[in-house]
């Protein structure tokens, strides 16, 4: 399945595999949300219905940012029934997210919500924006592992192709990457006085991947992988 990120599919020998869960890891501002949004936006252009679930930022906010940064009109695509943008904090979903809720309960309910929404909407592409804070709240690594397995299992069995973004602030990225079908790392490295965005695919099950770190560019046209390498 074409990622829609120019240069990326060549790195992994053809794009993401259908029915897989793929992580995009990076610290704040490395381009995770742009990468995954473009994956969704590109899919819609191919006639593949998209779904975005934002556990930590309001959907309204994402609509505005993608419009102003890249001219992607998510609101219009929602109205056309080509995209469903789900804000878990929406009271209709009754998925309480507050300081009083138990993170394990939240994650179990979150999994159920994802399952129901996938059945209702039957999207081809799914993007779940950074839910590491919730996993971080689960103390036992053993439980994190089980909850990840359950969520990823639910997603895989629906046949949708999914991107999950992961912040590095919470130190749980390893647990999620561990259970994923592919793991991509976004970085920003200091070369002299300059900070260069970089991308590197750590693994993709079933694919031969490029053994190299590449430069990642963000411009008004969106995100793309350059054939350049970040190191001089």
Ligand X SMILES: Nc1ncnc2c1ncn2[C@@H]1O[C@H](COP(=O)(O)OP(=O)(O)O)[C@@H](O)[C@H]1O
Give the DSSP per-residue string, 137-194: T---HHHHHHHHHHHHHHHHHHT-EEEEEEESTTS-HHHHHHHSSEEEEEEEEEETTE
Shortest CB 67 distance to Mg ion, Å: 16
Q: For residues 47 and 188, is the Cβ–Cβ distance under 8 A?
A: no
C-alpha span between 228 and 215 (Å, rounded): 6
Number of residues that bind ligand X (CB under 6 A): 19
Is the distance from CB of 215 to CB of 198 less than 8 angstroms? Answer: yes
The β-bridge partners of 90 are none
Candidates 56, 109, 154, 226; binder of a copy of itself (CB under 8 A) is: 56
Residue (120 or 141) nearer to ligand X, CB: 141
Whole-number minimum distance, CB 194 to a copy of itself, in Å? 5
Name which position in 28, 46, 157, 229 contacts ligand X (CB under 6 A).
Answer: 28
Would you count residue 30 as binding ligand X (CB under 6 A)?
A: yes
Q: Which is nearer to Mg ion, 32 or 125 (CB)?
A: 32
From the list 73, 109, 146, 226, which residue makes contact with a copy of itself (rule: CB under 8 A)? 146
Q: Residue from 51, 183, 223, 225 that binds a copy of itself (CB under 8 A)? A: 183
Contact 5/225 with Cβ under 8 angstroms? yes
Helix or strand (DSSP H, E) at 54: strand 50-54
Tokens standing for residue 91: 């009271």
Q: How far apart are CA 147 and CA 141, in angstroms?
A: 10
Distance in angstroms (rounded) separating the CA atoms of residues 20 and 206: 11
Closest distance to ligand X from the beta carbon of 184 (Å): 11
- Please tell me whether residue 192 binds a copy of itself under the rule CB under 8 A: yes
CB of 47 to a copy of itself, least distance (A): 25
Interface contacts to ligand X, rule CB under 6 A: 26, 28-34, 69, 203-209, 218-220
Interface contacts to a copy of itself, rule CB under 8 A: 28-30, 56-58, 61, 64-65, 68-69, 97-99, 103-104, 133-134, 136-137, 140-143, 145-147, 149, 153, 156, 167, 169-170, 174-175, 177-179, 183, 188, 190, 192-197, 200, 202-208, 211-213, 218-220, 229-231
């Amino acid at each position: 399945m074409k990622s829609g990120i120019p240069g990326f599919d060549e790195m992994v020998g053809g794009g993401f595999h259908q029915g897989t869960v793929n992580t995009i890891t990076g610290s704040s501002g490395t381009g995770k949300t742009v990468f995954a949004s473009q994956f969704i936006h590109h899919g819609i252009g191919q006639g593949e219905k998209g779904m975005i679930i934002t556990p930590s930022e309001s959907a309204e906010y994402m609509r505005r940012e993608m419009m102003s940064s890249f001219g992607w009109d998510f609101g219009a695509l929602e109205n056309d029934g080509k995209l469903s943008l789900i804000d878990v904090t929406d009271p209709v979903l009754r998925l309480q997210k507050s300081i009083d809720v138990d993170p394990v309960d939240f994650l179990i309910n979150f999994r159920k919500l994802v399952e129901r929404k996938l059945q209702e909407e039957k999207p081809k592409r799914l993007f779940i924006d950074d839910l590491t804070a919730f996993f971080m709240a689960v103390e036992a690594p053993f439980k994190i592992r089980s909850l990840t397995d359950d969520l990823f299992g639910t997603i895989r069995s629906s046949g949708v192709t999914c991107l999950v973004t992961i912040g590095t602030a919470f130190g749980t990225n390893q647990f999620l990457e561990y259970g994923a079908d592919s793991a991509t790392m976004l970085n920003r490295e200091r070369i002299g006085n300059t900070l260069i965005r970089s991308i590197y695919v750590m693994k993709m099950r079933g694919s031969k991947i490029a053994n190299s770190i590449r430069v990642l560019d963000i411009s008004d046209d969106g995100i793309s992988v350059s054939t350049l390498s970040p190191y001089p």
